[in-house]
């Protein structure tokens, strides 16, 4: 028989979420869609300098409820940094937290000392000033916290932003690129709020195994905003900035849209699709035709690493897009970028096996049988080498594998060539259970005998639990 006490406890637990819903609506519901501010930095001695100050903040996700967060020049998330390929950037990163942190430039090719990984920790109150050449194709990159064993907590609290890179090749194409008019940046994340409207980073057993997920879908920190616009053809730069959620994106009425870029830049040609999957850390740029003037809803189905066991965890309306009128859209270009053939290996072929032990216990996630060790360099790559890294997933979970320093090409997925939307430049790739994915990449320009780059699962709880390794380029 149940005691009165346990029955009451059960009732309270059930009542709590609906109580909050009754008390406060989402602050942005039905309100205009907001993007993080676009920052072009400051010109200084031929460099583009960005000031980034990381500090605790409070953000209103629900009307009238202040949620404690961490932000970058803002209470939650950071600015969109706009720069051009070939420029020299200097990032002035100030740590306003009471604990060490880092900021990592995800997807950028740069010296290990400027990477912002776990070895570039910034002490509380200190400023870190990496300087590097922006050697990228035009595309959508991002930055986020990467402190050893604190990555999940820092990103969950809001420590992330987007880097938007332009170049001549992309400029020459008839694509939407007016920020806020026909070109929009969407940082997608999901969060879980407690009864006080806070989002504590407290992992239960399931979160440790499958990654931290929430039931509330955010776009740029907002729930349910509306984007009204005039443009007949728009470009959405979408980042999956979640800790542990995969997003299956689609539009209402099974609208067909086109992907034009993957993580590292433009695809060879637009790829028509009705649904797109973005893993944690991945970006995609998509064109959406609104010429008929009808409103469309961007939807996300969320699922976790355990998709094979648990299935879809939620279906969310993310953003309502309302054209003000019907208007003819310009035709899409047939070709976008010249993608060179995937690189032929001149150097080592390396094999990586993803495994996990201790199901149902504290997750032990390994790569080639080893957990991350901050003091161990797993291997070295000779500068200038082109290598093939073959990943096999021996776990029952999904893992998005990310490699620092390079943009790679997917050579094969289970022996088959990659699908068109995966055939471009990538820095993060989804590897399903029992899949084998071969990646080709070249290590150019920067060598450092001591400071490593990381490779890891971008489910941040897997990364923090040891599914990460480090290599040097020498």
Question: What is the rounded CA–CA span in Å between residue 255 and residue 275?
Answer: 9
Interacting partner of 459 out of ligand C2O, Cu ion, none (Cβ under 5 to 8 A depending on kind): Cu ion
Q: How far is CA 434 from CA 276, 409, 431, 448, 450, in A?
A: 22, 20, 8, 34, 34
Among 59, 109, 144, 150, binds ligand C2O (CB under 6 A): 144
Among 59, 104, 150, 413, binds ligand C2O (CB under 6 A): 104
Binding of ligand C2O at residue 281 (CB under 6 A)? yes
Q: Are 259 and 337 in contact (CB under 8 A)?
A: no
Binding of ligand C2O at residue 146 (CB under 6 A)? yes
Question: What is the rounded CA–CA span in Å between residue 455 and residue 378?
Answer: 10
Binding of ligand C2O at residue 258 (CB under 6 A)? no
Q: Is 377 exposed, middle or buried (0-12, 13-18, 19+ CB in 10 A)?
A: middle
Interacting partner of 144 out of ligand C2O, Cu ion, none (Cβ under 5 to 8 A depending on kind): ligand C2O
Paired tokens of 405: 């320093």
Binding of ligand C2O at residue 109 (CB under 6 A)? no
Q: How far is CA 158 from CA 116, 161, 311, 420, in A?
A: 17, 9, 27, 33
Interacting partner of 164 out of Cu ion, ligand C2O, none (Cβ under 5 to 8 A depending on kind): none
CA 381 to chain centre: 26
Q: Are 68 and 24 in contact (CB under 8 A)?
A: no
Among 236, 401, 454, 473, binds ligand C2O (CB under 6 A): 454
CA 344 to chain centre: 28
Nearest residue (CB) to ligand C2O, 177 versus 201:
201
Nearest residue (CB) to Cu ion, 59 versus 154:
154
Binding of ligand C2O at residue 106 (CB under 6 A)? yes
Nearest residue (CB) to Cu ion, 60 versus 405:
405
Chain residue whose CB lies nearest ligand C2O: 106
Binding of ligand C2O at residue 154 (CB under 6 A)? no
Nearest residue (CB) to ligand C2O, 242 versus 298:
242
Binding of ligand C2O at residue 150 (CB under 6 A)? no
Matching residue, tokens 């790679």: 408
Paired tokens of 98: 């009471």
Matching residue, tokens 């007016």: 178
Nearest residue (CB) to ligand C2O, 47 versus 371:
371
Nearest residue (CB) to Cu ion, 9 versus 309:
309
Nearest distance from residue 463's CB to ligand C2O, in Å? 7
Interacting partner of 299 out of Cu ion, ligand C2O, none (Cβ under 5 to 8 A depending on kind): none
Paired tokens of 415: 């022996």
Interacting partner of 399 out of Cu ion, ligand C2O, none (Cβ under 5 to 8 A depending on kind): Cu ion
SS3 annotation, 400-454: EEEECCCCEEEEEECCECCCHHHCCCECEEEECCCCEEEEEEECCCCCCCCCCEE
Region of 2-10, 177-185, 355-363, 452-460 interacting with ligand C2O (CB under 6 A)? 452-460
Residue of 148, 82, 149 lying closest to 116 (CA atoms):
148
Which spans of this chain sit near Cu ion (rule: CB under 5 A)? 106, 399, 404, 457, 459, 462
Binding site residues, ligand C2O, CB under 6 A:
104, 106, 144, 146, 281, 402, 404, 454, 456, 458
């Amino acid at each position: 028989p149940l005691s009165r006490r346990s029955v009451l406890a059960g009732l309270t637990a059930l009542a709590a979420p609906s109580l909050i819903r009754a008390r406060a609506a989402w602050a942005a519901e039905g309100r205009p869609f907001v993007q993080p501010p676009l920052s072009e930095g400051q010109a200084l001695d031929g460099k583009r300098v960005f000031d980034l100050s990381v500090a605790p903040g409070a953000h209103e996700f629900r009307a009238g409820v202040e949620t404690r967060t961490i932000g970058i020049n803002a209470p939650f998330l950071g600015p969109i940094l706009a720069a051009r390929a070939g420029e020299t950037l200097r990032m002035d990163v100030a740590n306003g937290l009471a604990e060490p942190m880092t900021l990592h430039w995800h997807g950028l090719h740069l010296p290990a000392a400027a990477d912002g990984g776990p070895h570039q920790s910034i002490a509380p109150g200190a400023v870190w000033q990496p300087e590097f050449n922006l050697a990228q194709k035009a595309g959508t990159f991002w930055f986020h916290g990467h402190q050893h064993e604190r990555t999940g907590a820092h990103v969950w609290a809001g420590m992330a932003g987007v880097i938007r890179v332009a170049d001549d090749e992309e400029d020459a194409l008839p694509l939407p690129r007016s920020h806020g008019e026909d070109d929009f940046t969407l940082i997608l994340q999901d969060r879980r709020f407690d009864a006080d409207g806070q989002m504590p980073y407290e992992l239960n057993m399931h979160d440790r195994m499958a990654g931290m997920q929430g039931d509330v879908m955010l776009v740029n920190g907002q729930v349910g905003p509306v984007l009204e616009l005039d443009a007949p053809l728009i470009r959405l730069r979408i980042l999956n900035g979640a800790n542990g959620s995969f997003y299956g994106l689609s539009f209402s009425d099974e609208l067909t849209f086109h992907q034009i870029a993957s993580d590292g830049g433009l695809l060879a040609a637009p790829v028509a699709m009705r649904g797109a999957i973005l893993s944690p850390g991945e970006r995609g740029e998509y064109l959406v035709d609104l010429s008929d003037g009808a409103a469309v809803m961007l939807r996300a189905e969320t699922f976790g690493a355990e998709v094979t066991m648990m299935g879809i965890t939620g279906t969310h309306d993310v953003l309502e897009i309302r054209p003000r009128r019907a208007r003819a859209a310009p035709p899409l270009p047939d070709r976008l970028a010249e993608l060179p053939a995937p690189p032929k290996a001149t150097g080592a072929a390396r094999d990586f096996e993803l495994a996990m032990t201790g199901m149902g216990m504290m997750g032990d996630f390994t790569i080639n049988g080893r957990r991350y060790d901050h003091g161990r360099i797993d291997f070295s790559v000779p500068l200038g080498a082109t290598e093939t890294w073959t990943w096999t997933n021996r776990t029952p979970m999904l893992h998005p594998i990310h490699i620092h320093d390079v943009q790679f090409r997917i050579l094969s997925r289970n022996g088959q060539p990659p699908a068109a939307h995966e055939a471009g430049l990538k820095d993060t790739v989804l590897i399903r259970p029992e899949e084998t994915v071969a990646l080709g990449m070249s290590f150019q320009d920067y060598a450092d005998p001591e400071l490593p780059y990381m490779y890891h699962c971008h489910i941040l709880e897997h990364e923090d639990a040891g599914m990460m390794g480090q290599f040097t380029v020498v």
